[in-house]
A and B are shown apart, each in its own frame.
Chain A
Protein backbone atom coordinates (compact mmCIF):
# COMPACT_ATOMS: atom_id res chain seq x y z
CA UNK A 1 0.00 0.00 0.00
CA UNK A 2 1.27 3.45 -0.82
CA UNK A 3 2.84 5.42 2.00
CA UNK A 4 0.80 8.39 0.80
CA UNK A 5 -2.38 6.64 1.87
CA UNK A 6 -2.68 8.70 5.04
CA UNK A 7 -2.74 11.94 3.10
CA UNK A 8 -5.49 11.02 0.64
CA UNK A 9 -8.17 13.61 0.23
CA UNK A 10 -11.36 12.01 -1.01
CA UNK A 11 -13.13 13.62 -3.94
CA UNK A 12 -16.69 13.30 -5.19
CA UNK A 13 -17.25 10.13 -7.14
CA UNK A 14 -15.09 7.97 -4.97
CA UNK A 15 -11.57 8.86 -6.04
CA UNK A 16 -8.75 10.26 -3.97
CA UNK A 17 -6.98 13.39 -5.15
CA UNK A 18 -4.02 11.31 -6.27
CA UNK A 19 -6.26 9.20 -8.50
CA UNK A 20 -6.48 6.09 -6.34
CA UNK A 21 -9.91 4.52 -5.84
CA UNK A 22 -11.43 5.38 -2.47
CA UNK A 23 -12.43 2.87 0.13
CA UNK A 24 -16.04 4.07 -0.14
CA UNK A 25 -16.19 3.42 -3.89
CA UNK A 26 -14.58 0.00 -3.45
CA UNK A 27 -16.95 -0.87 -0.61
CA UNK A 28 -19.94 0.21 -2.69
CA UNK A 29 -18.91 -1.96 -5.63
CA UNK A 30 -18.31 -4.99 -3.43
CA UNK A 31 -21.56 -4.58 -1.51
CA UNK A 32 -23.81 -5.86 -4.30
CA UNK A 33 -22.10 -9.21 -4.94
CA UNK A 34 -21.58 -9.81 -1.22
CA UNK A 35 -25.22 -9.05 -0.42
CA UNK A 36 -26.28 -11.42 -3.20
CA UNK A 37 -23.98 -14.21 -1.98
CA UNK A 38 -25.46 -13.75 1.51
CA UNK A 39 -29.05 -13.96 0.27
CA UNK A 40 -28.31 -17.05 -1.83
CA UNK A 41 -26.51 -18.68 1.09
CA UNK A 42 -29.44 -17.98 3.40
CA UNK A 43 -31.72 -19.69 0.90
CA UNK A 44 -29.45 -22.73 0.99
CA UNK A 45 -29.31 -22.64 4.78
CA UNK A 46 -33.09 -22.68 4.98
CA UNK A 47 -32.96 -26.16 3.44
CA UNK A 48 -36.23 -25.43 1.67
CA UNK A 49 -34.86 -26.07 -1.81
CA UNK A 50 -34.91 -28.95 -4.25
CA UNK A 51 -31.71 -30.65 -5.41
CA UNK A 52 -31.85 -28.76 -8.71
CA UNK A 53 -32.32 -25.46 -6.92
CA UNK A 54 -29.46 -26.26 -4.57
CA UNK A 55 -27.16 -26.87 -7.53
CA UNK A 56 -28.29 -23.66 -9.20
CA UNK A 57 -27.81 -21.62 -6.01
CA UNK A 58 -24.33 -23.06 -5.48
CA UNK A 59 -23.40 -22.19 -9.07
CA UNK A 60 -24.74 -18.64 -8.63
CA UNK A 61 -22.74 -18.24 -5.41
CA UNK A 62 -19.55 -19.40 -7.17
CA UNK A 63 -20.05 -17.09 -10.16
CA UNK A 64 -20.94 -14.09 -7.98
CA UNK A 65 -17.89 -14.70 -5.78
CA UNK A 66 -15.67 -14.87 -8.87
CA UNK A 67 -17.07 -11.53 -10.01
CA UNK A 68 -16.27 -9.96 -6.63
CA UNK A 69 -12.78 -11.48 -6.69
CA UNK A 70 -12.16 -10.04 -10.16
CA UNK A 71 -12.97 -6.60 -8.75
CA UNK A 72 -10.61 -7.02 -5.80
CA UNK A 73 -7.90 -8.16 -8.23
CA UNK A 74 -8.47 -5.07 -10.37
CA UNK A 75 -8.35 -2.83 -7.31
CA UNK A 76 -5.05 -4.31 -6.16
CA UNK A 77 -3.58 -3.99 -9.63
CA UNK A 78 -4.83 -0.43 -9.93
CA UNK A 79 -3.27 0.70 -6.65
CA UNK A 80 0.06 -0.88 -7.60
CA UNK A 81 0.04 0.40 -11.16
CA UNK A 82 2.64 3.10 -10.53
CA UNK A 83 5.01 0.73 -8.75
CA UNK A 84 4.89 -2.05 -11.26
CA UNK A 85 6.56 -2.57 -14.58
CA UNK A 86 4.13 -3.73 -17.21
CA UNK A 87 5.60 -5.32 -20.25
CA UNK A 88 3.97 -4.18 -23.49
CA UNK A 89 4.05 -6.73 -26.27
CA UNK A 90 2.37 -7.41 -29.63
CA UNK A 91 -0.94 -9.13 -28.96
CA UNK A 92 -3.50 -10.68 -31.25
CA UNK A 93 -6.70 -9.06 -29.88
CA UNK A 94 -8.98 -11.54 -31.61
CA UNK A 95 -7.33 -14.46 -29.82
CA UNK A 96 -7.38 -12.63 -26.49
CA UNK A 97 -11.09 -11.83 -26.88
CA UNK A 98 -11.87 -15.43 -27.79
CA UNK A 99 -10.11 -16.58 -24.61
CA UNK A 100 -12.15 -14.07 -22.58
CA UNK A 101 -15.39 -15.23 -24.18
CA UNK A 102 -14.50 -18.82 -23.35
CA UNK A 103 -13.98 -17.80 -19.71
CA UNK A 104 -17.11 -15.65 -19.44
CA UNK A 105 -19.58 -17.81 -21.34
CA UNK A 106 -20.68 -19.86 -18.28
CA UNK A 107 -21.41 -16.64 -16.35
CA UNK A 108 -23.41 -15.25 -19.26
CA UNK A 109 -25.25 -18.54 -19.77
CA UNK A 110 -26.22 -18.58 -16.09
CA UNK A 111 -27.87 -15.20 -16.69
CA UNK A 112 -29.64 -16.40 -19.85
CA UNK A 113 -27.37 -14.36 -22.08
CA UNK A 114 -24.59 -15.01 -24.57
CA UNK A 115 -21.29 -13.37 -25.41
CA UNK A 116 -19.39 -13.68 -28.66
CA UNK A 117 -16.51 -12.20 -30.63
CA UNK A 118 -17.14 -10.70 -34.03
CA UNK A 119 -14.79 -12.60 -36.31
CA UNK A 120 -12.34 -10.85 -38.63
CA UNK A 121 -10.92 -11.97 -41.95
CA UNK A 122 -7.59 -10.21 -41.48
CA UNK A 123 -5.59 -10.55 -38.26
CA UNK A 124 -4.64 -7.45 -36.30
CA UNK A 125 -1.86 -6.90 -33.79
CA UNK A 126 -1.79 -4.27 -31.08
CA UNK A 127 0.70 -3.24 -28.41
CA UNK A 128 -0.55 -3.91 -24.89
CA UNK A 129 -0.01 -5.70 -21.64
CA UNK A 130 -1.97 -8.93 -21.89
CA UNK A 131 -3.14 -8.94 -18.25
CA UNK A 132 -4.25 -5.29 -18.20
CA UNK A 133 -6.06 -5.57 -21.54
CA UNK A 134 -7.78 -8.73 -20.39
CA UNK A 135 -8.96 -6.95 -17.23
CA UNK A 136 -10.35 -4.03 -19.26
CA UNK A 137 -12.37 -6.29 -21.55
CA UNK A 138 -13.56 -8.41 -18.61
CA UNK A 139 -14.67 -5.20 -16.89
CA UNK A 140 -16.57 -3.94 -19.96
CA UNK A 141 -18.14 -7.39 -20.40
CA UNK A 142 -19.27 -7.53 -16.78
CA UNK A 143 -20.83 -4.11 -17.22
CA UNK A 144 -22.55 -5.27 -20.42
CA UNK A 145 -23.86 -8.42 -18.76
CA UNK A 146 -25.78 -6.38 -16.23
CA UNK A 147 -27.04 -3.88 -18.75
CA UNK A 148 -28.02 -6.01 -21.70
CA UNK A 149 -31.57 -7.30 -22.13
CA UNK A 150 -32.54 -10.85 -21.25
CA UNK A 151 -31.86 -13.46 -23.96
CA UNK A 152 -29.65 -11.09 -25.96
CA UNK A 153 -25.98 -11.41 -26.83
CA UNK A 154 -23.10 -9.15 -25.93
CA UNK A 155 -20.64 -8.78 -28.79
CA UNK A 156 -16.93 -8.06 -28.53
CA UNK A 157 -15.65 -6.27 -31.61
CA UNK A 158 -12.12 -5.65 -32.90
CA UNK A 159 -11.66 -2.87 -35.46
CA UNK A 160 -8.79 -0.92 -37.01
CA UNK A 161 -9.05 2.91 -37.05
CA UNK A 162 -6.97 5.75 -38.47
CA UNK A 163 -5.49 3.76 -41.34
CA UNK A 164 -4.73 0.88 -39.07
CA UNK A 165 -2.71 2.88 -36.55
CA UNK A 166 -5.25 2.42 -33.76
CA UNK A 167 -6.98 -0.81 -32.80
CA UNK A 168 -10.33 -0.50 -31.06
CA UNK A 169 -11.70 -3.29 -28.88
CA UNK A 170 -15.36 -2.63 -28.14
CA UNK A 171 -17.96 -4.43 -26.04
CA UNK A 172 -21.44 -3.85 -27.45
CA UNK A 173 -24.43 -4.34 -25.18
CA UNK A 174 -28.12 -4.32 -26.04
CA UNK A 175 -30.30 -2.69 -23.42
CA UNK A 176 -32.39 0.38 -22.69
CA UNK A 177 -30.97 3.43 -24.47
CA UNK A 178 -29.01 5.89 -22.34
CA UNK A 179 -31.04 9.05 -21.74
CA UNK A 180 -29.60 12.31 -23.02
CA UNK A 181 -28.86 13.45 -19.48
CA UNK A 182 -27.04 10.23 -18.68
CA UNK A 183 -25.18 10.50 -21.98
CA UNK A 184 -23.99 14.04 -21.26
CA UNK A 185 -22.85 13.03 -17.78
CA UNK A 186 -21.01 10.03 -19.18
CA UNK A 187 -19.32 12.07 -21.91
CA UNK A 188 -18.18 14.71 -19.46
CA UNK A 189 -16.74 12.05 -17.18
CA UNK A 190 -14.96 10.37 -20.08
CA UNK A 191 -13.33 13.54 -21.31
CA UNK A 192 -12.21 14.86 -17.95
CA UNK A 193 -9.81 12.19 -16.77
CA UNK A 194 -8.88 11.34 -14.12
CA UNK A 195 -12.45 11.97 -13.04
CA UNK A 196 -14.33 8.72 -12.44
CA UNK A 197 -16.37 7.35 -15.32
CA UNK A 198 -19.91 6.43 -14.36
CA UNK A 199 -21.11 3.70 -16.65
CA UNK A 200 -24.57 3.30 -15.27
CA UNK A 201 -26.47 4.91 -12.45
CA UNK A 202 -26.11 1.81 -10.27
CA UNK A 203 -22.35 1.93 -10.58
CA UNK A 204 -19.91 4.04 -8.62
CA UNK A 205 -17.90 4.18 -11.84
CA UNK A 206 -15.00 2.48 -10.14
CA UNK A 207 -14.74 -0.36 -12.64
CA UNK A 208 -14.53 1.97 -15.60
CA UNK A 209 -12.17 4.28 -13.78
CA UNK A 210 -9.82 1.36 -13.20
CA UNK A 211 -10.19 0.35 -16.86
CA UNK A 212 -9.25 3.91 -17.80
CA UNK A 213 -6.13 3.73 -15.64
CA UNK A 214 -5.13 0.41 -17.21
CA UNK A 215 -5.62 1.87 -20.70
CA UNK A 216 -3.49 4.92 -19.90
CA UNK A 217 -0.74 2.63 -18.60
CA UNK A 218 -0.69 1.10 -22.11
CA UNK A 219 -0.79 4.53 -23.86
CA UNK A 220 -4.44 3.99 -24.72
CA UNK A 221 -7.83 5.50 -23.93
CA UNK A 222 -11.32 4.26 -23.17
CA UNK A 223 -14.62 5.65 -24.44
CA UNK A 224 -18.26 4.92 -25.07
CA UNK A 225 -20.58 5.09 -28.08
CA UNK A 226 -24.33 5.35 -27.59
CA UNK A 227 -26.72 3.33 -29.75
CA UNK A 228 -30.52 3.37 -29.94
CA UNK A 229 -30.54 -0.01 -28.24
CA UNK A 230 -27.55 0.07 -25.92
CA UNK A 231 -23.94 1.17 -25.86
CA UNK A 232 -20.42 0.15 -26.86
CA UNK A 233 -17.63 0.65 -24.35
CA UNK A 234 -14.27 0.54 -26.05
CA UNK A 235 -10.52 0.81 -25.53
CA UNK A 236 -8.27 2.28 -28.21
CA UNK A 237 -4.67 1.06 -28.34
CA UNK A 238 -1.78 1.53 -30.72
CA UNK A 239 -1.40 -1.05 -33.46
CA UNK A 240 1.78 -3.07 -33.53
CA UNK A 241 3.99 -2.37 -36.52
CA UNK A 242 5.22 -5.93 -36.44
CA UNK A 243 2.75 -7.08 -39.11
CA UNK A 244 3.70 -4.28 -41.51
CA UNK A 245 7.36 -5.25 -41.20
CA UNK A 246 6.74 -8.82 -42.32
Chain B
Protein backbone atom coordinates (compact mmCIF):
# COMPACT_ATOMS: atom_id res chain seq x y z
CA UNK B 1 0.00 0.00 0.00
CA UNK B 2 1.36 3.43 -0.90
CA UNK B 3 2.12 6.00 1.78
CA UNK B 4 -0.72 8.39 2.54
CA UNK B 5 0.16 11.97 1.91
CA UNK B 6 -0.48 14.91 4.25
CA UNK B 7 -0.25 18.58 3.28
CA UNK B 8 0.70 20.82 6.23
CA UNK B 9 -0.27 24.46 5.63
CA UNK B 10 1.48 26.36 8.39
CA UNK B 11 3.45 29.61 8.31
CA UNK B 12 5.37 28.87 11.49
CA UNK B 13 8.08 26.75 9.99
CA UNK B 14 9.32 25.38 13.31
CA UNK B 15 5.87 24.12 14.24
CA UNK B 16 5.37 22.73 10.73
CA UNK B 17 8.67 20.85 10.96
CA UNK B 18 7.64 19.26 14.25
CA UNK B 19 4.26 18.18 12.87
CA UNK B 20 5.97 16.82 9.78
CA UNK B 21 8.46 14.88 11.89
CA UNK B 22 5.71 13.30 14.02
CA UNK B 23 3.58 12.39 11.00
CA UNK B 24 6.55 10.90 9.13
CA UNK B 25 7.35 8.80 12.15
CA UNK B 26 3.75 7.56 12.07
CA UNK B 27 4.26 6.47 8.46
CA UNK B 28 2.83 9.37 6.48
CA UNK B 29 4.42 11.35 3.68
CA UNK B 30 4.31 15.11 4.31
CA UNK B 31 4.61 18.36 2.39
CA UNK B 32 4.80 21.79 4.04
CA UNK B 33 3.26 24.90 2.46
CA UNK B 34 3.94 28.17 4.31
CA UNK B 35 0.94 30.04 2.88
CA UNK B 36 -2.33 29.55 1.02
CA UNK B 37 -0.88 30.28 -2.43
CA UNK B 38 1.81 27.64 -1.99
CA UNK B 39 -0.86 25.23 -0.74
CA UNK B 40 -2.98 25.76 -3.86
CA UNK B 41 0.07 25.07 -6.03
CA UNK B 42 0.83 21.94 -3.98
CA UNK B 43 -2.74 20.68 -4.35
CA UNK B 44 -2.58 21.37 -8.11
CA UNK B 45 0.65 19.43 -8.42
CA UNK B 46 -0.01 16.48 -6.14
CA UNK B 47 -2.59 14.31 -4.48
CA UNK B 48 -3.18 14.66 -0.75
CA UNK B 49 -5.23 12.48 1.57
CA UNK B 50 -5.50 15.06 4.37
CA UNK B 51 -4.76 18.77 4.74
CA UNK B 52 -3.70 20.19 8.10
CA UNK B 53 -4.47 23.88 7.95
CA UNK B 54 -3.58 26.84 10.14
CA UNK B 55 -6.18 29.62 10.00
CA UNK B 56 -4.13 32.79 10.42
CA UNK B 57 -1.59 32.55 7.64
CA UNK B 58 0.60 35.10 5.92
CA UNK B 59 -1.17 36.46 2.84
CA UNK B 60 -4.62 34.93 2.40
CA UNK B 61 -6.14 33.26 5.45
CA UNK B 62 -6.90 29.57 5.79
CA UNK B 63 -10.56 30.36 5.05
CA UNK B 64 -9.61 31.62 1.58
CA UNK B 65 -7.92 28.28 0.96
CA UNK B 66 -11.00 26.42 2.22
CA UNK B 67 -13.15 28.35 -0.26
CA UNK B 68 -10.75 27.51 -3.07
CA UNK B 69 -10.69 23.83 -2.14
CA UNK B 70 -14.48 23.71 -2.02
CA UNK B 71 -14.80 25.14 -5.51
CA UNK B 72 -13.20 22.12 -7.23
CA UNK B 73 -14.72 18.66 -7.32
CA UNK B 74 -11.38 16.91 -6.88
CA UNK B 75 -10.27 19.00 -3.89
CA UNK B 76 -13.52 19.42 -1.97
CA UNK B 77 -13.35 15.79 -0.92
CA UNK B 78 -9.99 16.15 0.89
CA UNK B 79 -10.60 16.12 4.66
CA UNK B 80 -9.23 19.21 6.38
CA UNK B 81 -8.01 19.45 9.97
CA UNK B 82 -7.79 22.99 11.29
CA UNK B 83 -4.85 23.47 13.65
CA UNK B 84 -5.10 26.92 15.14
CA UNK B 85 -4.72 29.25 18.10
CA UNK B 86 -8.30 30.34 17.45
CA UNK B 87 -9.87 26.96 18.18
CA UNK B 88 -11.95 28.32 21.05
CA UNK B 89 -13.50 30.88 18.69
CA UNK B 90 -14.49 28.30 16.06
CA UNK B 91 -17.34 25.82 15.94
CA UNK B 92 -16.87 22.59 14.01
CA UNK B 93 -20.49 22.77 12.84
CA UNK B 94 -19.82 26.17 11.26
CA UNK B 95 -16.79 25.01 9.28
CA UNK B 96 -17.96 21.49 8.38
CA UNK B 97 -19.49 22.75 5.11
CA UNK B 98 -15.95 23.77 4.10
CA UNK B 99 -14.60 20.27 4.43
CA UNK B 100 -13.24 20.68 7.97
CA UNK B 101 -13.48 17.42 9.88
CA UNK B 102 -11.53 18.20 13.04
CA UNK B 103 -10.22 21.27 14.90
CA UNK B 104 -7.00 21.08 16.91
CA UNK B 105 -6.20 23.76 19.48
CA UNK B 106 -2.50 24.67 19.20
CA UNK B 107 -2.48 26.03 22.73
CA UNK B 108 -3.57 22.78 24.40
CA UNK B 109 -2.78 19.95 21.97
CA UNK B 110 -0.15 17.30 22.58
CA UNK B 111 2.33 16.65 19.75
CA UNK B 112 0.82 13.22 18.96
CA UNK B 113 -2.70 14.66 18.68
CA UNK B 114 -1.97 15.50 15.07
CA UNK B 115 -1.51 11.79 14.27
CA UNK B 116 -4.71 10.86 16.14
CA UNK B 117 -6.61 13.53 14.20
CA UNK B 118 -5.26 12.36 10.83
CA UNK B 119 -6.16 8.73 11.60
CA UNK B 120 -9.67 9.79 12.62
CA UNK B 121 -10.42 11.44 9.27
CA UNK B 122 -8.94 8.79 6.97
Contact = CB atoms under 8 A, between A and B. Distances in A.
A32 B54 CA distance: 12
A245 B18 CA distance: 57
A89 interface: no
A65 interface: no
Interface stretch (A34-42, A121-129, A213-221): A34-42
A176 B38 CA distance: 9
Nearest to A199: B58
A38 B107 contact: yes
A81 to B, nearest CB: 28
Given A31-B107, A202-B56, A60 B35 contact: no
Interface residues of B, number: 21
Interface of B is mostly: loop
Contacts of A149: 34
Nearest to B14: A60
Given A36-B12, A60-B14, A31 B85 contact: yes
Contact of B58 (A32, A35, A111, A146): A146
Contacts of B61: 201-202
B97 interface: no
A43 B21 CA distance: 10
B58 A39 contact: no
From B11, B12, B107, name the one whose CB has the most chain A CB atoms within 10 angstroms.
B12
A194 interface: no
Given A147-B58, A201-B60, A35 B18 contact: no
A35 B85 contact: yes
Interface of B: 11-15, 18, 34-35, 37, 56-61, 85, 106-107, 109-111
Given A39-B15, A200-B59, A201-B56, 9 more contacts: A31-B85, A35-B85, A36-B12, A39-B109, A147-B58, A201-B59, A201-B60, A202-B11, A202-B61
Closest 6 CB pairs of A and B: A202-B56, A176-B59, A35-B106, A35-B107, A31-B85, A201-B61
